[in-house]
Amino acid sequence: MKITVLGAGAWGTALAIAFSARHTVTLWARKADVRSVLSADRENRRLLPAHLFPETLRIGDDFAAAAATADLLIVATPISGLRPTLSRLREAGVPRPLIWVCKGLEAETAKLPHQVVAEELGPQALCGALSGPSFAEEVARGLPAAVTLAANDADFGHRTALALHSPHFRIYANDDLPGVEVGGGVKNIMAIATGVCDGLGLGLNARAALITRGLAEIARFGVALGGHPQTFMGLAGMGDLILTCTGDLSRNRRVGLALGAGKTLPQILRDLGHVAEGVSTTREVARLATQLGIDMPITHAVDAILYQDEPAAAAVEKLLSRDPKIEAS
């Protein structure tokens, strides 16, 4: 199969490397100077150093040509780049099946990625979301991982999952597109919260409690948006949540750790050098949860730290002082 990966960040680069073992892959970067450097270096030294590109991996130069020659498109931009990329595909007249790996809700609209795709390419477009517990660096190394591919068409989802599946990168098909998207997006908020907890030195008991209650928030929000409850017990829910909240490669966890240490958000984002999707997603999820009347105290605590200048310790204290409830609620 011919695959074009649109977006040469760490995750897009890792997927291009992984899928090159079985497929003909083209990696496209938005900036011309980045494309030139990738072609010359044959590795992404800035975002994924020490992982040389396979000889068969091609760096695409022309957007329309790279998209038109593919059997499958993989949009690997941040959530902020999804709509502009889809708009370019529409203008280029490239009706190719596509999947995306960005996570979160679109800023200002609070739309899930599949809703953005439907608006830009139409509801008939074959599409899906690839999500689950997977760090780019480990996927590029060929270490074992398992993820979920949720699609708007069951046959397309199963065929694509089978085509992309490999012994070290296992892909399970799923028909719950909104549930998988919510799991992948909202877990980043919980990773920031867990990082704050660890940054404040609150201990492993507190971390475990926070992850567990965070999963309950994710499930409440996801079901309200049309997701299936069982999805949040799987790879795109609990699996991704555990990895992102505990793994030191997690950008969102690192944001939380720095907040807990007293650093400011602008300083943290400058030091990070990567996109942490949970930062923008927090504002949209908090706003939408309020509109829908969904109880999400952890999300609102993170929103207060990020956007209302609430000290991390004070936000945590408010969480701890909440009245106890029945656990299932």
Q: What is the mean pLDDT of residues 290-307?
A: 97
How far apart CA 156 and CA 150 sit, in angstroms, is 10
CATH code of domain 2-175 = 3.40.50.720
Among 150-164, 197-211, 295-309, 313-327, the range scoring the smallest mean pLDDT is 313-327
Q: Tell me the fold of 185-320.
A: N-(1-d-carboxylethyl)-l-norvaline Dehydrogenase; domain 2 (1.10.1040)
Catalytic-role residue among 2, 103, 111, 187: 187
Residue 275 tokens, joined: 């996109």
pLDDT of the residue at 101: 98
| Residue spans per domain, the chain | 2-175, 185-320
187 is catalytic: yes
pLDDT, tens digit (0-9, with 9 covering 90-100), for 9-22: 999 999 999 999 99
Q: Given a cut of 60, is residue 329 above it in pLDDT?
A: no
pLDDT, tens digit (0-9, with 9 covering 90-100), for 226-254: 999 999 999 999 999 999 999 999 999 99
pLDDT, tens digit (0-9, with 9 covering 90-100), for 25-53: 999 999 999 999 999 999 999 999 999 99
Contacts of 32 (CB under 8 A, 6+ apart): 61
What does pLDDT average to over the chain? 95
275 — pLDDT class (breaks 50, 70, 90): confident
| Residue of 273, 191, 281 whose CA lies nearest to 10 | 273
pTM of the complete model: 0.95
Q: Given a cut of 80, is residue 95 above it in pLDDT?
A: no
Among 111-115, 173-177, 204-208, 321-325, the range scoring the smallest mean pLDDT is 321-325
Q: What is the mean pLDDT of residues 307-322?
A: 91
One-letter amino acid for residue 11 of the chain:
W
CB 135 within 8 A of CB 243: yes
How far apart CA 274 and CA 100 sit, in angstroms, is 18
Cα dist. 163→3, 68, 156, 167 in Å? 11, 19, 10, 12
Alpha helices (H) along the chain:
10-19, 32-41, 63-68, 82-92, 113-121, 136-141, 154-164, 177-199, 204-224, 240-246, 251-260, 265-272, 277-292, 297-307, 312-320
Q: CA-based angle 109:112:114, to the nearest 5?
A: 125
pLDDT of the residue at 328: 65
